[in-house]
């Protein structure tokens, strides 16, 4: 089968033919239809992601497809069932084997492309805002990187919860995407002072930060007393250092969130969150924004869209 494969850590991934493995006990085999790309895929190539598998491996963290077999003595969706899976790797291939207990049956009206763009982005933002930060109606939410894969879902979910949402992104085109997702106020990170703009709007109660670096520092200084800062990732390449004395003075909380980790120690948090999110999808309340859909043969181009910040929302690679 075809796979977008990494032979060694740091090597350039390439499409190659590899043997198709049968599912083991506890696994489900999928005929993969689509795979959503994530910033973490870029980190995996360099061996810098916290869950980078040992090489060789196939890239692609989240997939949608059709079950074609179950492993021995394994309970799971029956062959022919349409599912999405967060597998952590192996998604950029014609077929893949993934943990059966992570396979989520898709609503009848959900396309494979939407499904491949759904789990990580919406799951991260919902668990972060609802479970971790306890965002309340009427509070002010600042979303950094608001036109990116997770940032855009944070804008949508913040509005669903009833918050006032300030979206921060680079450039008018990306800000328009955030506005269309429901943002109440827009800040151009290229030209505006984030701290001053937020202060002029009354400060912020929750910060959603997948960026880090200077934007984290500006948002930190715009926080109201008892604000919660969600540290989601560091797309800027800079992990911010937090002045603990400022946390004390303003009674601030900085909260780390790694969505995939919940699958290991509290999977029920993810299960309950996804049930809510799929309900919202079927009700038409949320809809993945996918800026690019490319075939496997153009997977390197798809990753470059993430690397160069030229995409908005999600980039999806199709396998059929």
Same-domain check for residues 94 and 129: no
pLDDT at 143: 98
Residue 274 binned pLDDT confidence (cut-offs 50, 70, 90)? very high
pLDDT at 91: 97
The percent of residues in the chain predicted with pLDDT above 90, rounded, is: 93
pLDDT at 239: 93
Residue 280 lies in a domain: no
Mean per-residue pLDDT of the chain: 96
**Where a domain ends, among 237, 258, 279?**
258
Given a cut of 90, is residue 33 above it in pLDDT? yes
- Tokens 């509005």 locate to 159
* Domains held by the chain: number: 2
Same-domain check for residues 73 and 189: no
Same-domain check for residues 84 and 9: yes
Same-domain check for residues 83 and 186: no
State the CATH number of the domain containing residue 310.
Answer: 3.90.180.10
Same-domain check for residues 104 and 138: no
Same-domain check for residues 111 and 125: no
Residue 192 lies in a domain: yes
pLDDT at 8: 86
158/135 Cα distance (integer angstroms)? 8
Residue 275 lies in a domain: no
State the CATH number of the domain containing residue 202.
Answer: 3.40.50.720
Bond prior to 23 in cis (omega within 30° of 0): no
Span 186-232, pLDDT tens digits: 999 999 999 999 999 999 999 999 999 999 999 999 999 999 999 99
Same-domain check for residues 225 and 157: yes
124/260 Cα distance (integer angstroms)? 8
Same-domain check for residues 85 and 125: no
Residue 9 binned pLDDT confidence (cut-offs 50, 70, 90)? confident
pLDDT at 320: 86
Same-domain check for residues 100 and 9: yes
Residue 283 lies in a domain: no
Please name every residue paired with 166 in a beta bridge, in sequence order, or none if there are none: 142, 185
Same-domain check for residues 132 and 233: yes
Residue 276 binned pLDDT confidence (cut-offs 50, 70, 90)? very high
Residue 162 lies in a domain: yes
Same-domain check for residues 251 and 173: yes
Residue 130 lies in a domain: yes
Residue 268 lies in a domain: no
Span 52-108, pLDDT tens digits: 999 999 999 999 999 999 999 999 999 999 999 999 999 999 999 999 999 999 999
Residue 263 lies in a domain: no
The mean pLDDT of 236-261, rounded to a whole number, is 93
Q: Residue 59's domain spans which residues? A: 2-118+288-318
């Amino acid at each position: 089968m075809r796979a977008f494969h990494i032979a060694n850590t740091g090597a350039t991934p390439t499409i190659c033919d590899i043997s198709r493995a049968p599912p083991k006990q506890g696994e489900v085999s999928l005929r993969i239809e689509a795979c959503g790309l994530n910033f973490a895929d870029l980190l995996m190539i360099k061996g810098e992601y916290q869950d980078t598998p040992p090489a060789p491996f196939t890239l692609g963290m989240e997939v949608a497809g059709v079950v074609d077999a179950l492993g021995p003595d394994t309970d799971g969706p029956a062959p022919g069932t349409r599912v999405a899976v967060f597998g952590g790797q192996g998604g950029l291939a014609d077929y893949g084997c993934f943990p059966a207990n992570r396979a989520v049956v898709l609503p009848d009206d959900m396309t494979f492309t939407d499904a491949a763009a759904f789990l990580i982005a919406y799951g991260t933002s919902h668990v972060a805002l609802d479970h971790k930060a306890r965002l309340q109606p009427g509070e002010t939410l600042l979303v950094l990187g608001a036109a990116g894969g997770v940032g855009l879902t944070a804008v949508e979910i913040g509005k669903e919860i009833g918050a006032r949402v300030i979206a921060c992104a680079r450039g008018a085109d990306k800000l328009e995407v955030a506005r269309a997702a429901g943002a109440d106020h827009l800040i151009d990170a290229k030209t505006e002072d984030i701290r001053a703009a937020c202060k002029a709007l009354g400060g912020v109660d929750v910060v959603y930060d997948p960026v880090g670096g200077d934007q984290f520092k500006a948002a930190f200084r715009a926080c109201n007393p008892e604000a919660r800062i969600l540290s989601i990732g560091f797309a800027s390449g800079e992990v911010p250092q937090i002045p603990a004395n400022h946390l004390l003075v303003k009674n601030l909380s900085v909260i780390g969130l790694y969505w995939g980790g919940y699958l290991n120690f509290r999977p029920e948090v993810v299960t309950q969150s996804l049930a809510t999110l799929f309900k919202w999808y079927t009700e038409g309340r949320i809809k993945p924004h996918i800026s690019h859909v490319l075939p496997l043969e153009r997977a390197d181009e798809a990753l470059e869209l993430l690397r160069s910040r030229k995409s908005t929302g999600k980039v999806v690679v199709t396998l059929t």
